Each structure stands twice: as C-alpha cells, then as structure tokens.
C-alpha cells in the first residue's frame, strides 16, 4: 500500500475526483475554531480522519494521542484511516459527519472552504508563525494547516551514481541525461524508474513548476500564460521525462512497474533514480534498513536547473488539517491541530520540513544547505483559478493520464511528436483560459 503524504499526495487528490462536493454546510458558514485558553478545561471526544493507514495500524497515532493527552487530559482522540482517502472523504462530506479533524480533500474548491471548515484565524496573524497559509486562505481567514512541508526531488542511490563516475549533481537536463546514460553503460542498474503502473508518481512531475525558473509566482504564470511555452517550467520538466524514456533510460516495460518493490530495489542499487519528494526519503531508507543496507546510500537531489548558479527547491504543504465546521467539539479539534503541528514531532519523524517558520531544516536536507540550494514558497493566490482552468481544459496537470500518454509517446506506444503533443496541451489550456474568469 502506498503511504505517501505530501506533495504527491496533494497532487494525486485531484486525479481521483472530477466534481465538487455538494455538502450541507450553509448554516455554519463562517464559524471559527478558536484556540483554547486553558488546556485542562478542554473536553470531548474527537474523531480524526487520516490517510496514514500505516500509522494507525502500527499504533503510532495512538502514541501521538497519548502524548497529546499529557497537555489535554480531557480530550479523547479517535482515529479513522481511510484507504482511498479522497473518494471516501468526498462521500462523507455530503453529510455533516466527516470527522472533527480531517485532511482537506483537493477536490473541494477553495472558495467553498468556509462551507465545510471552521476558520483557524486570520492569515495576517497565522502567517507570522506558519508557512503555507496562502493555500487555505479565503477572504483573509485560514481554514487549514499542513503539519509538514515537502519539496520535490530525485531520490537516488549514491553508490550507483558514483560507480558511473558522477561526482556532482547535474545542473542541466542535458547533463542529467548524460549521467543516466553513464549509469546505463557502466552499471547494472535501471537508470530511471517511472512508476508508470502506480500512476500517481507521474503527477509529481508537475512539482517541477517553480524550481526551474526559481519563481515564486510560478502558479500565477500558469493562470495567466502558457505552461508549455518554450522555456516554461512544465515544458522543461515534460521534455526531460520524454527524453529519459525516449533514450531508453528506464525499465524495460513501464506497464509492469511496482511502487512498493521499487523501494528495496533502489536501496540495493538495482534502480538508480526516481522523481518523488522529501516525503519518500524515510520510506526508502526504511527499505534499505530492512535489506541490511546503509540508509545513507539513499540520496536526494534537486531538479537539474539553476538560476544564478544556484538550484531552487519549491517547498509546499502536505495535506492540510482542518476542523469540520459542524463539529460539536471545535475547541478540542483546534487543540489537536495546533499540538500536532507544533509539538508532536510528526515533521521530524517523517524527515520533513517543519511548517514553523523559525524551525531548522531536517538533517536529510543538509546536502541542500551545503550546496546553497535556495528554498522558495510559491504564492497560491491564483491556485483556485489554475484548478478551474485545468478542470475546464481537461488537461489534468495533477492527474496521471497525460504523463502516461507522454511516456507512451516517448517509448513508441503512441504516435506523434513531442512538439505536437505539448502544443495540443497549450491549445487546450489557452481555450480554457478564455472561459474561466479571474
């Protein structure tokens, strides 16, 4: 089972569902979930919905709840893990019973957040302490908080890359391709693994947006221009994926890939590289430990592009935690979100980036600090508009189908050229932009 959290989880969400929730939340719209003044007086039983089936099954979430109860002794926390979170959460949100705390499903329109969730406070106030407040702000109020931050990148086996004679991170797509070719000719490893069959990992390629041009307004540019114009971030990313496949630098048959099996295979050096995100590092390191391999053999590198001689890495939120606007225990639900974000150590347990602005980066990103990688946060001011354009265009930048088509094109299982393929995406996007107002 896939237990990814992060960026990939957020990106996948839109892939599963195409329509919005109807909901019933009109009467409670505008409700606030205020932080409690005295932890010892807060009481009630709250249900927390989560996609982390692994952490519920192995008892980790119960341990978090026990630690929470040391501060909030009168609040009982119950967990319910949803295997297909997006689909199951959407169904529940057609009623008022969708837990007290939940992850905001990507299918829900941002403008509808006040219908379903209680406010956590003003953006002005929360932005002083927390990252990512833009992503859940509606009319100046914040409706969700991510407990971790993630950044996309390539997981790679350090020993395999060294065996191929590569000593530094590639700085351009062309150099990256050259390095993969060296891995193919000088090692027994599969240079790059597509995870084609799992589908959702392909959506991670959209996360190159912002990294290539080191642009905090990358999302705004998607809303206002052509994502596949010459030199645009998505065109650069999609072209690199095409070239990797077209040059035969992937597994023999993409239709037979296996996500879970790829973890120990990369750890053992049978696979050299996968494009995922920081959220995956701990999973691949665990696979290495289970195979009796040094987890430090798992490396992480940024997208091969530089601006002013520096790599850029986009830091974004994982799923955002929110309080059900209908919850009878909003204070207790808010207490859980605040504690889980600030005090639980969930970020450290997952080798993730803290949502607290003053927190240090995780040790796993020390190589990024050493290399002077610039971390940026992309404005989500036009995120809702981009989603509307994407829905109208039926391109699906956060869905796996178009990149599956791209991989099929590159490996000869689909007819056409890369230019015609990308130009078709551009036309669909441009036509949709004309029908979607700002």
**pLDDT for residue 14 is more than 80:** no
The tally of CA atoms less than 13 A away on the side-chain side of residue 23 is: 25
The string of DSSP codes covering 410-435 is HTTSS-S-HHHHHHHHHHHHHHHHHH
d(CA 59, CA 299): 29
Tell which wins on pLDDT, 14 or 134: 134
Reduced to 3 states (helix: H, G, I; strand: E, B; else coil), residue 330 is: helix
Kindly report the backbone phi and psi dihedral angles of residue 411, in degrees, each rounded to the nearest multiple of 5, phi listed first: -95, 5
Nearest to 250 by CA among 313, 202, 211: 202
Per-residue pLDDT, 437: 65
* Residue ranges, CATH 3.40.190.10, the chain: 6-148+319-357, 152-314+360-438
Tokens of 22: 């109807």
Q: Indicate if the alpha-carbon torsion angle 424, 430, 435, 438 is positive or negative.
A: positive
Q: Are strands 149-150 and 316-317 parallel, antiparallel or unpaired?
A: antiparallel
Averaged pLDDT for residues 96-109? 92
Per-residue pLDDT, 20: 32
Percentages (nearest 5) of helix, strand, coil residues in the chain: 45, 15, 40
d(CA 90, CA 254): 31
Averaged pLDDT for residues 48-69? 95
Per-residue pLDDT, 302: 97
What is the separation, in whole angstroms, between the first and last Cα of the chain? 39
d(CA 177, CA 172): 9
| Segment 306-327, tens digit of pLDDT | 999 999 999 999 899 999 999 9
For the chain, percent of residues with pLDDT exceeding 70: 93
In the DSSP assignment, the letter for residue 395 is -
How big is the CA angle at 381 (ends 92 and 360), to the nearest 5 degrees? Answer: 85
d(CA 386, CA 253): 34
d(CA 79, CA 62): 8
Tokens of 166: 């590569």
Bridge partners for 78 per DSSP: 47
In the DSSP assignment, the letter for residue 342 is H
Name every residue whose Cβ is closer than 8 Å to that of residue 434 and which is 6 or more positions away in sequence: none
The tally of CA atoms less than 13 A away on the side-chain side of residue 192 is: 26
**pLDDT for residue 286 is more than 50:** yes
Averaged pLDDT for residues 85-96? 92
CB–CB of 225/163 below 8 Å? Answer: no
The architecture of the domain spanning 6-148+319-357 is 3-Layer(aba) Sandwich (3.40)
Name every residue whose Cβ is closer than 8 Å to that of residue 207 and which is 6 or more positions away in sequence: 7, 8, 11, 152, 277, 314, 316
Distances (CA, A) of 398 to 18, 206, 402: 11, 7, 9
Nearest to 2 by CA among 256, 300, 12: 12
Instruction: Produce one character per residue of 347-366: b if its CB has 16 or more CB atoms within 10 Å, e if not.
Output: beebbbbbbeeeeebbebbe
Distances (CA, A) of 38 to 45, 210, 329: 17, 42, 15
Per-residue pLDDT, 158: 97
Kindly report the backbone phi and psi dihedral angles of residue 100, in degrees, each rounded to the nearest multiple of 5, phi listed first: -95, -35
Averaged pLDDT for residues 217-236? 96
Reduced to 3 states (helix: H, G, I; strand: E, B; else coil), residue 88 is: helix
Distances (CA, A) of 170 to 136, 174, 277: 35, 8, 17
Distances (CA, A) of 437 to 229, 266, 320, 378: 21, 45, 26, 21
pLDDT band of residue 18 (cuts 50, 70, 90) is very low
Q: Is the pTM of this model over 0.95?
A: no
CB–CB of 225/389 below 8 Å? Answer: no
**What stretches of 194-248 adopt beta strand conformation (E)?**
none
Q: Please, what is the angle between helix 418-435 and helix 233-246, to 10°? A: 150
Averaged pLDDT for residues 108-130? 94
In the DSSP assignment, the letter for residue 397 is T
CB–CB of 46/116 below 8 Å? Answer: no
Q: What CATH code would you report for 152-314+360-438? A: 3.40.190.10
| Segment 240-277, tens digit of pLDDT | 999 999 999 999 999 999 999 999 999 999 999 999 99
| Segment 385-427, tens digit of pLDDT | 998 999 999 999 988 999 999 999 999 999 999 999 999 999 9
CB–CB of 395/429 below 8 Å? Answer: yes
């Amino acid at each position: 089972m896939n237990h990814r959290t992060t960026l990939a989880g957020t990106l996948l969400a839109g892939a599963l569902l195409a329509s919005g929730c109807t909901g019933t939340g009109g009467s409670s719209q505008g409700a606030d979930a205020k932080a409690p003044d005295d932890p010892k007086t807060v009481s009630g039983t709250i249900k927390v919905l989560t996609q982390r089936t692994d952490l519920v099954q192995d008892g980790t979430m119960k341990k978090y709840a026990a630690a929470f109860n040391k501060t909030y002794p009168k609040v009982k926390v119950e967990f319910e893990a949803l295997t297909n979170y997006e689909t199951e959460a959407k169904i529940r949100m057609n009623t008022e019973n969708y837990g007290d705390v939940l992850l905001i499903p990507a299918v829900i329109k941002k403008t509808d957040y006040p219908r379903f969730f209680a406010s956590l406070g003003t953006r002005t106030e929360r932005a002083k302490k927390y990252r990512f407040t833009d992503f859940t702000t509606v009319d100046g109020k914040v409706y969700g908080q991510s407990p971790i931050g993630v950044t996309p990148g390539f997981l790679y086996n350090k020993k395999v890359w060294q065996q191929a004679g590569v000593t530094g991170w590639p700085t351009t797509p062309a150099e990256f391709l050259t390095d993969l070719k060296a891995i193919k000719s000088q090692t027994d490893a599969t240079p790059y693994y597509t995870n084609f069959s799992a589908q959702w990992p392909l959506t991670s390629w959209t996360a190159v947006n912002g990294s290539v041009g080191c642009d905090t307004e990358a999302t705004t540019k998607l809303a206002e221009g052509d994502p596949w114009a010459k030199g645009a971030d998505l065109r650069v990313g999609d072209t690199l994926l095409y070239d990797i496949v077209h040059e035969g630098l992937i597994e023999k048959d993409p239709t037979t890939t296996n996500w879970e099996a790829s973890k120990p295979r990369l750890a053992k050096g049978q696979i050299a590289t996968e494009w995922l995100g920081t959220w995956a590092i701990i999973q691949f390191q665990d696979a290495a430990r289970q195979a009796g391999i040094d987890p430090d053999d798992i490396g992480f590198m940024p997208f091969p592009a530089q601006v002013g001689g520096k790599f850029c890495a986009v830091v974004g939120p994982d799923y955002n935690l929110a309080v059900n606007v209908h919850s009878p225990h909003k204070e207790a639900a808010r207490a859980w979100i605040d504690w889980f974000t600030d005090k639980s150590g969930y970020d450290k347990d997952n080798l993730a980036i803290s949502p607290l602005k003053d927190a240090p980066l995780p040790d796993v990103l020390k190589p990024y600090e050493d290399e002077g990688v610039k971390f940026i946060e992309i404005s989500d001011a036009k995120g809702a508009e981009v989603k509307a354009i994407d829905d109208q265009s039926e391109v699906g930048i956060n869905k796996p189908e178009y990149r599956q088509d791209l991989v099929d094109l590159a490996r000869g299982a689909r007819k056409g050229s890369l230019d015609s393929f990308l130009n078709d995406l551009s036309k669909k996007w441009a036509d949709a932009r004309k029908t979607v107002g700002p």
